Structure 1
Amino acid sequence: MEGTKKTQLIKPRIRQILSKELPSGLISKLPKHWVQIGDVLILPLREEFLPYKREIAEVYAQVLEVKTVLRKGRILGELREPHYEVIYGDDTVTVHRENGILYKLDAARIMFSPANVKERIRMAGIARPDELVVDMFAGIGHLSLPIAKHCGARVIAIEKNPYAFKFLVENIELNGVQDRMTAYNIDNREFPGEGIADRILMGYVIRTHEFIPKALQIAKDGAIIHYHNTVPERLMPGEPFQTFRRIAREHGYEAEKLNELVIKRYSPGVWHVVVDVKVFKV
């Protein structure tokens, strides 16, 4: 209950303090929602707030007890890197605690979506201890750390971005899973393993279909692939499974849909979806 009361009191307190520094017309438009990753806050600020961004950030930091505040920006490029502006504090590296996992990351430069929490929790119970899991887009270990930590499965985590890879290695040590989790700093298309994985994680969006042939190459016959992608609402519920099955058939595999979940809204009219698919060599 204490957590609920604190949340209810935060917004009036922020408004009360800033009412002495901002024009009255802006007070009602102050951000009512934000993202907190460890002790770093990501705040969406519209253009009209920019002349007062430092004053606003300082108040949010004090009330919410964080060390650094970032202005939310866009996620760009193949490596899905955030472009966020530091508007209060200077240390953007933090440790986020969730479901018994420690995620160390640079919140200004590495993507971490609290909205994906249900999928990270789902991964904590998805695999058996005797499985070999290959995470093709590991990042800092978003999806594969829960598998290694809570399922006890062996994990190969592949991450192309050298900066994200640095935190992936640190997180493997932070969570004490060095004995069952191995990291590779390469493009997953260069990974040499064939027919080795009982389970494959494809936690990427927009272009994930381009990597399906490589996933099939890595998979054992009967492996399960957790295939993420972004899908226009008008193409659901057929997609994204139809595209996965078409590409699988082109490469001599049949695909069976086991489960499908909507992760979150990606943009207007577009959803981030994950499909659990079992694949068989024809």
Structure 2
Amino acid sequence: MRTQVIKPRIREILSKELPPELVSLLPKRWVKIGDVLLLPLRPELEPYKHRIAQVYAEVIGAKTVLRKGHIHGETRKPDYELLYGNDTVTVHVENGIKYKLDVAKIMFSPANVKERVRMANIARPDELVVDMFAGIGHLSLPIAVHCKAKVIAIEKDPYTFKFLVENIHLNKVQDRMTAYNMDNRDFPGENIADRILMGYVVKTHDFIPKALEIAKDEAIIHYHNTVPEKLMPEEPFETFKKIAREHGYDVEKLNELRIKRYAPGVWHVVLDLRVYKV
């Protein structure tokens, strides 16, 4: 995945077709996931959006162009407009991992790349890792491929789950990675996980009791959530600690990282936590 600056050839072509005042409004940055381009377009460019998308696709080398939009709902679905091409399914290769996905319907954030890479060195081969919000395997595929650990990947959305299963086979880790299409709160495992991934935001705290149920004593939980900057650094650790204590656990914070800005004044963060049964 690459975030790049505008290429001179794009400006050269479109400066002959667009009014001069609009040329300066052309997107200066874009994101390429596999061979699908995500392009942010200002409203002023609306009348020319399909031609702009075509030029970007031809110069950059993309089969499809989507207009960047917003992410909605419990399963974090993107709301993107198709501007050029018709095939939004692609295979994106990152850090030796093949991610097959439908870019129009499944979120894949460029800003989370460091966390995906970090997961490739986080676990030991003898661990059992449970990914409670697996998606297409964003965070758990690096663990299965590079760490050689056993992984249970839980994904609620049936369409996303289809790609998760494909990616397990595409990366040849079906011997150590198992996928479940269910709400993680219905997962029957208890006291099994050496490590838990909670790669969700906004309402991740609602799933803390289930994570504790799945965790072994002294398990590590990688807890993602969004938090207003004015509440940091106390949050989100204080909320996790409070809920954990209500369920008979103590918590040690091992590490805290800022992933990206989620909204003005709000950060997406991840805490590495060790939990102890009291």
TM range (shorter): over 0.9
**Counterpart residue number, 1:168:** 164
Higher mean C-alpha deviation, range 263-272 or range 220-229 = 263-272
For 1:219-258, what aligned pairs fall within 5 Å after superposition? 219-258=215-254
Q: In structure 2, which of residues 84, 89, 96 is the aligned counterpart of residue 93 of structure 1? A: 89
Letter in 1 for 2:17: E
Q: Is 1:194 matched with 2:190?
A: yes
Q: Is the 8 A contact 2:66 2:104 kept in 1?
A: yes
Q: Is the 8 A contact 1:10 1:63 kept in 2?
A: no
For residue 238 of structure 1, report the CA deviation from its aligned partner: 1.0
Question: How many corresponding residue pairs?
Answer: 276
Post-superposition Cα deviations, 1:129-151, rounded to whole Å, max 9, x if no partner, equal 00000000000000000000000
Tell me, in whole angstroms, the C-alpha distance in 1 between the residues paired with 2:275 and 2:161.
29
Tell me, in whole angstroms, the C-alpha distance in 2 between the residues paired with 1:250 and 1:22.
62
Q: Is 1:49 matched with 2:30?
A: no
Q: Is the 8 A contact 1:129 1:154 kept in 2?
A: yes
Q: Is the 8 A contact 1:212 1:248 kept in 2?
A: yes
TM-score, length-scaled by structure 2: 0.98
Tell me, in whole angstroms, the C-alpha distance in 2 between the residues paired with 1:16 and 1:206.
43
Q: In structure 1, which of residues 155, 176, 179 is the aligned counterpart of residue 151 of structure 2? A: 155
Q: Is 1:33 matched with 2:29?
A: yes
Tell me, in whole angstroms, the C-alpha distance in 2 between the residues paired with 1:209 and 1:202.
10
Q: Is the 8 A contact 1:10 1:64 kept in 2?
A: no
Higher mean C-alpha deviation, range 131-140 or range 239-248 = 239-248
Q: Is the 8 A contact 1:232 1:270 kept in 2?
A: yes
Q: In structure 1, which of residues 110, 113, 120 is the aligned counterpart of residue 109 of structure 2? A: 113
For residue 12 of structure 1, report the CA deviation from its aligned partner: 1.7
The structure 1 segments of at least 4 consecutive aligned residues displaced by more than 6 Å after TM superposition are: none
Post-superposition Cα deviations, 1:77-129, rounded to whole Å, max 9, x if no partner, equal 00000010110000000000000000000000000011111000000000000
Percent identity, please: 78
Q: Is the 8 A contact 1:227 1:275 kept in 2?
A: yes
Higher mean C-alpha deviation, range 137-146 or range 41-50 = 41-50
For residue 8 of structure 1, report the CA deviation from its aligned partner: 8.6
For residue 35 of structure 1, report the CA deviation from its aligned partner: 1.2
Letter in 2 for 1:281: K
**Counterpart residue number, 2:140:** 144
Q: In structure 2, which of residues 9, 12, 18 is the aligned counterpart of residue 13 of structure 1? A: 9
Tell me, in whole angstroms, the C-alpha distance in 2 between the residues paired with 1:22 and 1:245.
56
Letter in 1 for 2:173: V
Q: Is 1:61 matched with 2:57?
A: yes
Tell me, in whole angstroms, the C-alpha distance in 2 between the residues paired with 1:34 and 1:230.
25
Tell me, in whole angstroms, the C-alpha distance in 2 between the residues paired with 1:35 and 1:241.
32
TM-score, length-scaled by structure 1: 0.96
Post-superposition Cα deviations, 1:20-78, rounded to whole Å, max 9, x if no partner, equal 11111011111111111000000011111111100100000011100000001110000
Structure 2 spans left out of the alignment, 5+ residues = none
Letter in 2 for 1:251: H
**Counterpart residue number, 1:4:** none
Q: Is 1:259 matched with 2:255?
A: yes
Letter in 2 for 1:116: N
